[in-house]
Amino acid sequence: MSKQKHASQLRVGDSPWVKWSLIGLTLILTMLLLVVPLISIFQQAFALGVSHYFSSLIEADTLHAVGLTLLVAALTVPINLVFGVMLAWSVTRFEFPGRKVLMTLLDIPFAMSPVVAGLLYLLLYGNNGWIGAMLYDADIQLMFAWPGIVMVTVFVTCPFVARELIPLMQQQGREDEEAAVILGASGWQLFRRVTLPNIKWALIYGVILTNARAVGEFGAVSVVSGNIRGETNTLPLHVQLQYEDYQAAAAFASASLLAIIALITLLFKAFVEWRQERSLNIDTDK
């Protein structure tokens, strides 16, 4: 024990005063910035009583908003899963001109404000836009309808899966895949039995992040949805509408649903991170 104490005294920047004031400050800020708002969501949601809470949740418009949000997530996640795997595979397994540019382009949705993304889609696919005008003639309406909401959500969340996979696939290299092909594996067998198990946890992690963002996206969706109550209102938009209608408790009840989804996501994320770390440990334990 005394040896340990001695060693800890020698570590740089480890004076107790600095240590405890930093930890204390961080804890206070975490409480103020993260925990208090989260608790207050539930406190406000239940402000008018439990029965009011549940009755505001089963209101038709709220239920519709929940349904639409789930639909958007259910469509966005598989689209971006496939897209992300394809993109990560292309840039890590093939050499082609423009590879680096492609990897930079992938960050556009992160770098750009979602509102701007929504506006771009509106300009392009709206009834007066280049493509939108043609679609209008064909009687197809994308903007101010759920397809538009899905489109911008796909745009905003498309980097998550690929961003998770690219570094991992770069690190793992292509030797495993070469070995599988030499042993006679077909393209599908290779993917199913070698590549997919190798990237499994990173893929799940990417999906969780995609889902969380798809459920919570506000900026881009608010531009293209048109806020038609009971038709094109997703849950985050619904929260805002209810709040503007002076239904604070109902707004917070809806918000609490989003908070619960976020908490479940966090749990999942922690579990996947733990699994991922474990599988990486096994890898590096050579």
Partner 1 sequence: MSILIENISKQFGNFQALSPLSLSIDEGEMIGLLGPSGSGKTTLLRIIAGLEGADSGRIQFADRDVTNLHVRDRRVGFVFQNYALFRHMTVADNVAFGLEVLPKQQRPNKSDIQQRVKHLLEMVQLGHLANRYPSQLSGGQKQRIALARALATKPEVLLLDEPFGALDAKVRKELRRWLRGLHDELGFTSVFVTHDQEEALELSDRVVVMSNGHIEQIDAPGALYSTPNSRFVFDFLGNANVFDATVSNNQWQNGDASLTLPEGLSPQDGQVYIRSHEFTIGTEASAQANLPLRILAINPIGAEVRFELEPVGWQSQEVWEIDLTHKYCDQQSFEKGQILYATPKHGYFFAQDTQQPRQINWSLKLC
Binding of residue 282 to partner 1 (CB under 8 A): yes
Q: Write down the least CB distance from residue 189 to partner 1, Å.
A: 5
Question: Which range touches partner 1 (CB under 8 A), out of 22-30, 206-214, 227-235, 277-285?
Answer: 277-285
| Cα gap 232→54, rounded to integer Å | 23
d(C-alpha 29, C-alpha 24), whole Å: 9
Q: Please select the residue that binds partner 1; options are 59, 61, 176, 231, rule is CB under 8 A.
A: 176
- Would you give the binding string for partner 1 spanning residues 187-216, x where CB under 8 A is met? --x---xx--xx------------------
Residue 44 makes CB contacts below 8 A (sequence gap 6+) with: 248, 249, 252
Kindly state whether residue 178 participates in binding partner 1, applying the rule CB under 8 A.
Answer: yes
In 3D space, the residue among 275, 263, 268, 269 whose CA is nearest the CA of residue 39 turns out to be 263
Residue 183 sits in the site that holds partner 1 (CB under 8 A): yes
Rounded CA-CA distance 148/153 in Å is 9
How distant, in Å, are the alpha carbons of 172, 174, 198, 237 from that of 186? 20, 15, 17, 47
Residue count at the site for partner 1 (CB under 8 A)? Answer: 21
CB of 278 to partner 1, least distance (A): 11
Q: What is the token pair recorded at 52?
A: 């009011």
Choosing from 134, 179, 264, 270, the residue that interacts with partner 1 (CB under 8 A) is 179
CA distance 200 to 191: 11
Taking the complex as a whole, how short is the minimal distance between the CB of residue 242 and partner 1, in angstroms?
A: 48
Q: Which residues bind partner 1 (CB under 8 A)?
A: 175-176, 178-186, 189, 193-194, 197-198, 279, 282-283, 285-286
